[in-house]
Amino acid sequence: MARPDLLVVGGGITGQCAALSAARAGARVALVDLGLNAGSTANAGSLHVQMQSRFLRLNPHLAENLESSLPLYLSAVKAWEALDAELGGVELTREGGLMLAESEAQLAFLEEKAERERAKGLDVEILGHNALHRMAPWLSEEVIGAELCRDEGKLNPLVANRKMRAALERAGVEIRRDRITALEDGAAPSALGTRRHSAGQILLATAWGTSALLAGTAVHVPTPPEPLHMNITEAGAYEIHHLVQHAERPITLKQFRSGQVVIGGGWEARLSEGAGAPGIRKESLLGNVALAARIAPGIGGLRVLRTWAGYNTPVDGKATIGPLEAASRIHLALPGDAGYTLGPVVGQSAAALALGAEGPIDAAPYSPARWRG
């Protein structure tokens, strides 16, 4: 392959969508990835739109960033719907998301949050006990209400990842296996690994690895890896149609059409050293599964088939999209949080900017300018 017009570094969903959209626009594209610890291959398939209570609890100082990004989440779900059609189906459903409350204080928190989200264009509603249990009879009676976000949904990431790889191959994207350790900017920028990868433009979709790659530049993006824990059960009757979260407790719950239930929601895993995969914490496994069974008693008898951990990269709750600076040929495509949800729209937008084209969104609010100096 001749020198690519665009070299995408990072083979998760963000990098894959950037590479695919650039190739379909007529560019010569190469994608380079080590193939280890990609967040996308450890993802549980949530399509988040409403503000996640976990992020708000852990990062109250970043709530404004998350709130201002809500229109981007709406665009992200539209991008996933288009991708679902292009790929021939990834088991995407949008029957809404439920954020549960077990106390009046939690319900009051959801009511205030819903008011802020409506102002940003989200379709949300507060449900009382009776309306909620008619909609989701599998819930525990201890759940007294919930916020329903009709914009949310779920998909099967195993299907999506497999079909994305096939789509990249059909589009002629060259996939290279390498660990990139440094960058050289300039008229012919290079990414340095076991060999030099040069291109017309370079796009970094490297999530938690971005901070190290930007060392020596004027752009300093904090991207510490956040190791999180997940589980999947054997198949049961398909009853949980919504993406399920909690107003206060760390839980996400969703059920694939196969009947398998995926349980996660922010339980801590063990940070690895070097390139190793994050490790499982027994207390996270037990606590996560016990909480899920208390919220949805009907799944309590299902056996857990597999438990694993992956890296999340929350950054500051706001995406970063675009060139390092005006003359730079190195571009960033960082979702900022909920990376699997935002990956397609962030990757497509960053690729369009790198090629001098118009993207699906106005990327100006997500410029890397805030990270300079």
Show the 3-state SS of the chain. Answer: CCCCCEEEECCCHHHHHHHHHHHHCCCCEEEEECCCCCHHHHCCCEECCCCCHHHHHHCHHHHHHHHHCHHHHHHHHHHHHHHHHHHCCCCCECCCEEEEECCHHHHHHHHHHHHHHHCCCCCEEEECHHHHHHHCCCCCCCCCEEEEECCCEECCHHHHHHHHHHHHHHCCCEEEECCCCEEECCCCCEEECCCEEECCEEEECCHHHHHHHCCCCCECCCCCCEEEEEEEEEECCCCCCCEEEECCCCCEEEECCCCEEEEECCCECECCCCCCCCECCHHHHHHHHHHHHHHCHHHCCCCEEEEEEEEECCCCCCCEEEECCCCCCEEEEECCCCHHHHHHHHHHHHHHHHCCCCCCCCCHHHCHHHHEC
Tell me the percentage of the chain whose pLDDT exceeds 90: 87
> For residue 273, what pLDDT band results from cuts at 50, 70 and 90?
confident
> Is residue 32 in a domain?
yes
Per-residue model confidence as pLDDT tens digits over 281-300: 999 999 999 999 999 999 99
How many structural domains compose the chain? 3
> Is residue 343 in a domain?
yes
Tell me: do 257 and 334 sit in the same domain: no
Tell me: do 35 and 102 sit in the same domain: no
> Is residue 1 in a domain?
no
Model confidence, pTM: 0.95
> Is residue 191 in a domain?
yes
| 278 or 342, which is more confident | 342
Tell me: do 242 and 295 sit in the same domain: yes
Per-residue model confidence as pLDDT tens digits over 102-151: 999 999 999 999 999 999 999 999 999 999 999 999 999 999 999 999 99
Q: What is the mean pLDDT of residues 233-262?
A: 96
Tell me: do 287 and 141 sit in the same domain: no
Tell me: do 184 and 212 sit in the same domain: yes
CATH of the domain at 271: 3.30.9.10
> Is residue 145 in a domain?
yes
Tell me: do 214 and 321 sit in the same domain: yes
Tell me: do 343 and 198 sit in the same domain: yes
Tell me: do 331 and 301 sit in the same domain: no
Tell me: do 169 and 270 sit in the same domain: no
How confident is the model at residue 373, as a pLDDT?
72
Range(s) of the domain holding residue 326 = 6-41+158-223+316-371
> Is residue 78 in a domain?
no
Domain boundary among 312, 334, 360: 312
Domain boundary among 289, 312, 335: 312
Residue 321 has pLDDT above 70, yes or no: yes
Q: What is the mean pLDDT of residues 198-206?
A: 97
> Is residue 63 in a domain?
no
Tell me: do 204 and 261 sit in the same domain: no
How confident is the model at residue 37, as a pLDDT?
66
> Is residue 11 in a domain?
yes
Domain boundary among 312, 331, 362: 312
Tell me: do 217 and 320 sit in the same domain: yes
Tell me: do 15 and 146 sit in the same domain: no
How confident is the model at residue 44, as a pLDDT?
82
